[in-house]
A and B are shown apart, each in its own frame.
Chain A
Amino acid sequence: MEVFDIFLLEAVLNGILLGGLLALLSLGLNLIFGVIDVVWICYAEMIMIGMYAVYALHVQQGWPLLAAMAAGIAIVALLGALMHQFIIRPVLSAEPINQLLVTGGVLFFLQAAATLAFGIEFKNLGVKLPPVAIGEMSFSMPRIIAFVVAVAGVAATYLFLTRTYIGTAIRAISQDREIMPLVGVNPGRIFVVTSALGGSLAGLSACLLVLQYDIHPAIGLSFGPITFLICVLGGLGNMLGGLIAAFIFAQFISVGGFVLAIEWGYVIAFVFFIAVMFWRPQGILGGK
Chain B
Amino acid sequence: MRKVAVVGIGHGKFGVRSDASLRELAFEAVKACLDDAGIPLKEVDSMVTGIAGDEFALGLQPSAQVHDYIGFHPKPNFRVEGACATGSIALRTGIMNVASGLADVVLVVGVEKMTEVPTSIATEIMGKAGDSIWEYPFGTTFPGYYALIANAHMAEYGTTEEQLAMVSVKNHYYGSLNPYAHMQKKITLEKALTSFTVAYPLKLYDCSLITDGAAAVIIASEERAKVISKKPVWIVGAGLATDTLRLGDRKSLTSILAAREAAKTAYKMAGVGPSDIDVATVHDCFTIAEIVAYEDLGFCEKGEGGKLIAAKETYVGGRIPVNVDGGLKSKGHPIGATGVSMAIEITKQLRGEAGERQVKNPEIGLAHNVGGTGQVVAVHIFRRE
- The answer to whether A and B belong to the same complex is no
Please report B residues at the A interface, Cβ cutoff 8 Å.
none
